[in-house]
Structure 1
Amino acid sequence: MTAARELVELLDLETLDTNLFRGRQPDTDRQRVFGGQVAAQALVAGIRTVDAAYVPHSLHSYFLRPGDTSVPIVYDVEALRDGRSFATRRVVARQHGRPIYFQTANFQRVEEGLEHQDVMPTVIPPEEGLDIVDLMRRAGNDEADALAKEWASLEARYVGNSQQGLDEDPARPSRARMWIRVQEELGDDQQLHLAAFTYASDMSLLGATLAAHDRRPPEVMMASLDHAIWFHRPFRADEWWLYDQHSPSAQGARGLAFAEVYTRDGTLVASVAQEGLIRLRTR
């Protein structure tokens, strides 16, 4: 089975009871669950409890504890609201009887309205970008091979960051850009594309908080604390999308990162925000 098919299976939850689901774990040697996995599985759990006429437009979440890769994750969905235009779900991910992750997801019936968007920056095409895992290996990142396995379903091409590859921007001193896509075609189920994107959205975002500093793992301990996504327009996660990231602030051993997500034709399809731990190791 290909890595992309494994991702699709990873996102196909088992129904245990009404509003109660179980998510499987991938074959991995890592000691903690990838944050994008639990966020994507939680979104799928929420989707399973909402009428198909409603589509996700945003999610907000907190990572509470590191996930255990040796046991499945149980997702408990609470229906907070079912209105004529919007529906809201709260999802709790649990392992060993304890919550490890909370997500609130909002859904909307599709409707027409006013339109505007930011303009996509001018960047090199993905074909000219550098493979992100190869860059990690060259930089001596001890986790490069493990991450290559974890991200095997994804293809990521690095464009550059504030220190190399991007023009200087004093107003935004910590920036990073890359192209990402799922490596194989996912079909036409838009909900699957949103879940696959959610999985990939945790890839590299916290790294943008280090772009203004000559520091990187293992000298920096990094962990995602929260994660938010706003879905603006339909798109395909298996076609290239630009992850245009910047970090407006780092302080108190925490860094905040925002990202705008554009398709190759310049359409703004999503926005993402994440704060995480970026603690300098003392030894």
Structure 2
Amino acid sequence: MATLIRPPPINHSQSAIENVLELTQLSDIDPDLFTNTRPLWHPPGARGIFGGAAIAQTLSAAQKTVDPEFTVHSMHCYFVLAGNADIPILYHVERVRSGKSFATRTVQARQRGRVIFTTTMSFVRQNSGGTNMVEHVQPMPQDIPAPIEDLDETEGFSHGHSPFQSQRMAIENDDSDQPHTKKCRQWIKARGRISPAGGHEAHLSAIAYMSDSYFVGTVARVHKLWRYSTDRKSNAKSSIDEDELKKLLEMDDEELKRQKNVDDADIERIRRLKNGKDMQKEARPEIGMMVSLDHTIYFHNPRNFRADEWIFTEMQTPWAGDGRGLVYQKMYTKDGTLIASCVQEGLVRLKQNDSKL
């Protein structure tokens, strides 16, 4: 059973992402206890539910326990266990502190009595910074190609259930032999129009959801690592399952270029597979396991953007080692306003030929 209570009909006055992130308050049990109203998405090939759902729903739950004058400015999350899309999630909010200027909340997401995700958030009262303030901002990069309005790379294939659209760009400095200098960029936005009833909270939850879009995957992209298992005997969990690889092998180059999770390096290797090349003999690095470990978001200008309008994101990784990788992300509105800075560390293990992962 994917939900604790039978889901109501889809609310067509709300956007897809509002419906996906809708929570049910279990006030008869505890006013600070919530559960997912609708089933959560399990991306093909992933170990559990889409991590962005846990991030966004814990934020949604916490937002329901603070005064309307308070707005989230940071959240620090840990992915503890893979979420099971077939089991309801219970979100318990703890009201750690409610002060004059700041409020603190922790939220635990549980399945079968076990914590699968935990986060601590801080909220700040609007306009509490005073009249005179220290201010600066890193500007959005110049000469970024505008998004194409009628192009949706997430339609069809494995992304048809996604409540947001995305358009990826070519990797900046992709020919460099220095992975830390490369930048992965994309445009994203929630599908449809977020309803006025959702308020600023719905837009904040939406960018929290979208912020996990192929985040730690940046490490694989800048190293041009192969993410599709070609060894059926391997017990390691590949990033993308075998069924998706079959679909990719049936596509021509133009179709492949439209796929969100496929880079030029992937296309070249898919061509080789089509031509009967043995990927194992080429000894090319292949991802054995890639999962998020933690996720931090700092929100800027939290009431001055719309998540259903194009948002530019830029990701860069300063370090990878010891089976892990770190990625930074900045999110800007189309007119260049910085709305969020994110950090994620993830498990990034290569397939080992001589041992199990």
Contact 1:73/1:94 (<8 A) preserved: yes
Change (3 A) 1:128 1:215: farther
Residue aligning to 1:38: 54
Q: Tell me which residue corresponds to 2:3.
A: none
Quote the offset at 1:253 in angstroms. 1.3
Amino acid paired to 2:294: D
Distance 1:129 1:177 in 2: 19
Residue from 16, 25, 32 that aligns with 1:19: 32
Structure 2 letter corresponding to 1:262: Y
Deviation at 1:195, TM superposition (A): 0.3
Could you tell me which residue of structure 2 aligns to residue 125 of structure 1? Answer: 146
Of 60, 63, 66, which aligns to 1:47?
63
1-side partners of 2:107 and 2:41: how far apart?
24
SS at match of 2:83: coil
Q: TM-score if structure 1 supplies the norm length? A: 0.87
- 1:263 paired with 2:333, answer yes
The count of aligned residue pairs is 269
Q: Any conservation in 2 of the 1:59–1:230 contact (CA below 8 Å)?
A: yes
Given that residues 174 and 209 in structure 1 are in contact (C-alpha distance below 8 angstroms), is that contact kept between their aligned partners in structure 2? no
Write the distance in 2 (CA, Å) between the matches of 1:250 and 1:129. Answer: 36
Structure-2 separation of matches of 1:231 and 1:200: 13
Which one of 135, 140, 157 corresponds to residue 145 of structure 1?
157
Q: 1:108-257 alignment to 2 at 5 Å?
A: 108-111=124-127, 112=129, 113-122=133-142, 123-127=144-148, 132-133=153-154, 145-146=157-158, 148-151=159-162, 153-162=163-172, 164=174, 172-188=180-196, 189-218=199-228, 219-220=286-287, 221-233=289-301, 234-257=304-327
The one-letter code sitting in structure 1 at the alignment partner of 2:296 is A
**Structure 1 residues 22, 62: CA separation in 2 closer, same or farther (over 3 Å shift)?**
same
The one-letter code of the counterpart of 2:40 is P
Matches within 5 A, 1:79-94: 79-94=95-110
Once the two structures are superposed, residues 59-88 of structure 1 have per-residue CA deviations (whole angstroms, 9 ceiling, x without a partner) of 000000000100110001111111100000
Tell me how far 1:89 sits from its aligned partner: 0.2
Tell me the residue number matched to 1:104: 120
Distance of 1:199 and 1:87 partners within structure 2: 22
AA aligned opposite 1:208: T
Contact 1:36–1:198 at 8 Å: present in 2 too? yes
Deviation at 1:170, TM superposition (A): 5.8
In the superposition, relative to structure 1, how do residues 207 and 128 fare at CA in structure 2: closer, same or farther (>3 Å)? Answer: farther
- Residue 77 of structure 1: aligned partner: 93
More strand by share: 1
> Equivalents in 2 of 1:224, 1:235: separation in Å?
27
Identity score, percent? 38
Letter in structure 2 aligned against 1:226: D
- Compared with structure 1, are the counterparts of its residues 171 and 204 closer, same or farther at alpha carbon in structure 2 (3 Å cutoff)? closer
Paired with 1:263 and 1:279, the residues of 2 have a C-alpha distance of 34
Distance of aligned partners of 1:99 and 1:28 in 2 relative to their CA distance in 1, 3 Å threshold:
closer
Seen in structure 2, the aligned counterparts of structure 1 residues 272 and 121 have a Cα distance that, compared at 3 Å, is same
Paired residues of 2:176 and 2:182 also in contact (CA < 8 A): no
Please, which moves more after superposition, 23-32 or 187-196? 23-32
- Call closer, same or farther: CA 1:277–1:154 in 2, change over 3 Å: same
Query: Does the aligned pair in 2 maintain the 1:91–1:104 contact within 8 Å?
Result: yes
**What are structure 2's unaligned runs of at least 5 residues?**
1-9, 229-285
Residues 220-248 of structure 1: CA deviation (Å, up to 9, x unaligned)? 12101000101111311101111111000
Residue equivalent to 2:253: none
Secondary structure of the structure 1 residue equivalent to 2:216: helix
CA distance in 2, matches of 1:87, 1:22: 22
- Any unmatched runs of 5+ in structure 1? 135-143
* 2:78 maps to amino acid: Y
Letter of the 1:177 partner, please give it.
R
Q: CA deviation at 1:216?
A: 3.3
Q: 1:27 and 1:58, CA in 2 relative to 1: closer, same or farther beyond 3 A?
A: closer
Cα separation, partners in 2 of 1:86 and 1:117, compared to 1, 3 Å: same
Map of 1:140 onto structure 2 = none
**1-structure distance, mates of 2:177, 2:314:** 14
SS of the counterpart of 2:223? coil
Q: Distance in 1 between matches of 2:95 and 2:300?
A: 23
Q: Distance in 1 between matches of 2:211 and 2:148?
A: 20
Q: Distance in 1 between matches of 2:226 and 2:182?
A: 14
Identify if the C-alpha distance between structure 1 residues 119 and 267 changes in structure 2 by more than 3 Å, giving closer, same or farther: same
